Amino acid sequence: MKRILIAAVVTMIGLPMAVKADIVILQDGTRLMGRVEQLPNTNERIAFISGSGRIEFPTSRIREIIEEPDEVDWTRVAGQFMERRNYGAAVQHYQLALEANAEHQDAIDGLQKAQDAIDAQQDERNRELREKLTQEMEAVPELIELEKFTEAEGILDRVLAVETSEEQRLAARRMTRDLYLAWGFSRYDRLDMRGAEEKYQRVLEMDPRNEEARDRLLRIWRDDPSKREEVLKAYQARLESEPNNLQYNRTVGDILYQLQRYEESIPHLEKVASAPAFRNQGYDTRLLNAYQETISKLTDEGNLDEAISRFQELIRIRPNVDTTNLTMLQYRRDRNRLADDDWDGKALLINRLLEIGLSRTAEDEAELILRYDAENEIAEGILRELARAEFNNIQQTFNQGHYRVAVNMAERFKRTRSRFPEMTNAADELMKKAQIQAERDARAAREQAREIAQRGIDSYNEAVRAAEMMGRTDIRPGGTPISYRQRAIEMSRRAVEYMEAALKIDPSLGELTGMDLNTSLRDARALNQRLTRPPTPLPRSIPRR
């Protein structure tokens, strides 16, 4: 193993295997101290190695060769390299000496001195390098200010690529962070969003908690739909430590709303909507929509209990919201809980619809029950009461002298109330009397049409006022609650009937300047339709077979 190592070192310095001889006395008396090699294939020339290099000369010039041990030989050559400050070569030769004799003290001491000298040289080079890099780093802030970012980056890359002091390395990292932050600002100002994003990402790689870079990066991402999820996660993480921060809640609520995750957006939108700083910025409407979308989704999923719970939450924060849909949800839930063949129980529930003025829906539900239980007295009683109320309205219209209107109402009654022939017969008699009276008053038809039209307009205006008050709960002097919904339904229906009758008598009123009865009729029909139909269509309850 020793011979292999020596061979490797000698080969490294360009020498073949040496013979044991290290003092050569020439014919002229010159003494050479080093290492002698016998050249291969010749006895007439030798090679001599010393700290000055390698030379060859003929053996005829040699008077005497004095052999010394290998360790002394190599130590002497190493010392010559030390004198010439070639410490690397000195180390190599001291090591050759120690391979020949590991206890040779001169080689041990010499090797330590050579290594110390190398360390001192390296320390000096490092000191000089640090001084040079420090001088270069002093120019970096000015380069950043002048937006010479590439030049500043090159200096800092050189600092971080070499072994420097910990203080200098930390300073270079801080400068690099500041460089990329300023570079990102510059790219952002030039609308280079991709370039700005890349620089801010570099900042966060070095300083994950840098809020300035994160805020800028999130500002870019908020305008990018593909990055919404990443922005959302970032702000949700911030909310964990600052749950009442309005700006964070606003951002999270807005993104969840945009992603149609309405139920998750509600608590954040509630905080923002109730804050004075965001008043009149549309968050009341957005919160209401989020609740409505959530309730609708839960309803579609069949989770009526949770939908009702959400609606009750909405009422607590918005007391004036229309509760019609809540009643419909409660009706559907309670109806679904009944047995499929519990027709009486289902019929009794219809009264809830009547209480909130949804008479048309109540009528449809009663008809549906009678389709499966033709003898159901409760459902038939509901339809009978609705028919009687409608007939009384025809009678009242006739008594008021509005014969044309009464004729129209009676014709419709006969078509839709065939289940109750005694009432349809009475309506037929009343219709004939109304026709006779209407013909008798034909000469005053135009004036009557104007009067009827005006009554229709007045009724519509009254219906609008009642509809605007549906969120209120007022009590009559006798203690009975006022149903503004029922009032609005009644007056809108009356408005439609009056206007239709007026146009039948005198179609020119439809486009008469100052009256425009056709438009008023469309508005009255739309209002009546909205009031008498629930916002959420009621699915049919078809019994299981």
Residue 12: is its pLDDT beyond 70? no
Cβ-proximal residues to 404 (8 Å cutoff; 6+ apart), any chain = 434, 438, 448, 452, 501, 504, 505
Bridge partners (DSSP) of residue 535 are: none
Q: Which residues of 273-284 are buried (b: 16+ CB within 10 A; e: fewer)?
A: beeeebeeeebb
pLDDT for the residue numbered 3: 29
Is 295:307 a contact under the CB 8 Å cutoff?
A: yes
pLDDT, tens digit (0-9, with 9 covering 90-100), for 40-82: 677 777 777 776 777 777 877 877 777 778 788 788 888 888 8
Query: What whole-number distance in Å separates Cα of residue 450 and Cα of residue 515?
Result: 9
Query: What whole-number distance in Å separates Cα of residue 164 and Cα of residue 133?
Result: 9
Any idea which of 9-18, 20-29, 444-453, 467-476 has the lowest mean pLDDT? Answer: 9-18
Query: What whole-number distance in Å separates Cα of residue 140 and Cα of residue 152?
Result: 5
Token pair of 470 as six digits: 């549906």
> What is the pLDDT averaged over residues 295-320?
91
Is 213:181 a contact under the CB 8 Å cutoff?
A: yes
Residue 123: is its pLDDT beyond 90? no
- The residue among 159 and 154 whose pLDDT is bigger is 154
> What is the pLDDT averaged over residues 425-451?
84
Residue after which a domain boundary falls, among 82, 104, 129: 129
* DSSP state for residue 25 in the 8-state scheme: E
Residue 21 banded pLDDT, cuts 50, 70, 90 = very low
Query: What whole-number distance in Å separates Cα of residue 467 and Cα of residue 256?
Result: 33
Is 501:401 a contact under the CB 8 Å cutoff?
A: no
Cβ-proximal residues to 310 (8 Å cutoff; 6+ apart), any chain = 263, 291, 294, 295, 298
Query: What whole-number distance in Å separates Cα of residue 289 and Cα of residue 308?
Result: 16
Residue 222: is its pLDDT beyond 80? no
Is 430:398 a contact under the CB 8 Å cutoff?
A: yes
Of 439, 431, 436, 451, which Cα lies nearest the Cα of 509? 451
> What is the pLDDT averaged over residues 103-113?
91
pLDDT for the residue numbered 74: 83
In a domain, 162, yes or no: no
> What is the pLDDT averaged over residues 178-194?
85
Is 391:427 a contact under the CB 8 Å cutoff?
A: yes
Residue 275: is its pLDDT beyond 50? yes
pLDDT for the residue numbered 536: 53
Which residues constitute the domain of residue 48? Answer: 2-129
Amino acid at 380: E
In a domain, 331, yes or no: no
Of 488, 529, 532, 524, which Cα lies nearest the Cα of 503? 524
- The residue among 186 and 43 whose pLDDT is bigger is 186
Strand order in the sheet with 62-66: 31-33, 23-26, 62-66
Residue 427: is its pLDDT beyond 70? yes
Any idea which of 471-475, 511-515, 538-542 has the lowest mean pLDDT? Answer: 538-542
Residue after which a domain boundary falls, among 129, 151, 176: 129
Query: What whole-number distance in Å separates Cα of residue 223 and Cα of residue 227?
Result: 8
Residues 535-538: contacts with CB under 8 Å, at least 24 apart: 535/324, 535/325, 535/328, 536/296, 536/299, 536/325, 536/328, 536/329, 538/328, 538/332, 538/361, 538/364, 538/365
* DSSP state for residue 238 in the 8-state scheme: H
> What is the pLDDT averaged over residues 117-140?
77
Of 382, 376, 381, 380, which Cα lies nearest the Cα of 353? 382
pLDDT for the residue numbered 237: 86
pLDDT for the residue numbered 542: 43
At 341 the three-state DSSP class reads coil
Please name the helix (run of DSSP H) or strand (run of DSSP E) that holds residue 55, with its range, or none: strand 53-58
Residue 220: is its pLDDT beyond 80? no
> What is the pLDDT averaged over residues 489-508?
90
> Roughly how many angstroms between the first and final C-alpha of the chain, as a whole number?
98
Residue after which a domain boundary falls, among 129, 156, 172: 129
In a domain, 544, yes or no: no
Average pLDDT, the chain: 82
Is 383:366 a contact under the CB 8 Å cutoff?
A: yes
> What is the pLDDT averaged over residues 176-187?
87
Residue matched to tokens 């008809």: 367
Residue matched to tokens 């009557």: 448
- The residue among 218 and 457 whose pLDDT is bigger is 457
Query: What whole-number distance in Å separates Cα of residue 225 and Cα of residue 216?
Result: 16
Query: What whole-number distance in Å separates Cα of residue 275 and Cα of residue 469?
Result: 27
In a domain, 354, yes or no: yes
> What is the pLDDT averaged over residues 125-129?
71
Strand order in the sheet with 53-58: 35-38, 45-50, 53-58
Query: What whole-number distance in Å separates Cα of residue 207 and Cα of residue 218?
Result: 16
Give how many domains the chain has, as a whole number: 2
Is 444:400 a contact under the CB 8 Å cutoff?
A: no
Residue 393: is its pLDDT beyond 90? yes
Residue 480 banded pLDDT, cuts 50, 70, 90 = low
Residue 445: is its pLDDT beyond 90? no
Query: What whole-number distance in Å separates Cα of residue 494 and Cα of residue 457?
Result: 10
pLDDT for the residue numbered 439: 80
In a domain, 350, yes or no: yes
Query: Residue 94 maps to which CATH number?
Result: 1.25.40
Cβ-proximal residues to 439 (8 Å cutoff; 6+ apart), any chain = none
Residue 128: is its pLDDT beyond 50? yes
At 481 the three-state DSSP class reads strand
Bridge partners (DSSP) of residue 32 are: 24
In a domain, 86, yes or no: yes
Residue 24: is its pLDDT beyond 80? no
Token pair of 234 as six digits: 């970032």
pLDDT for the residue numbered 424: 93
pLDDT for the residue numbered 267: 93
Bridge partners (DSSP) of residue 37 are: 47
Query: What whole-number distance in Å separates Cα of residue 106 and Cα of residue 97?
Result: 9
Query: What whole-number distance in Å separates Cα of residue 132 and Cα of residue 134?
Result: 5
> What is the pLDDT averaged over residues 504-510?
84
Cβ-proximal residues to 40 (8 Å cutoff; 6+ apart), any chain = 16
In a domain, 420, yes or no: yes
In a domain, 410, yes or no: yes
Residue 6 banded pLDDT, cuts 50, 70, 90 = very low
> What is the pLDDT averaged over residues 367-374?
91
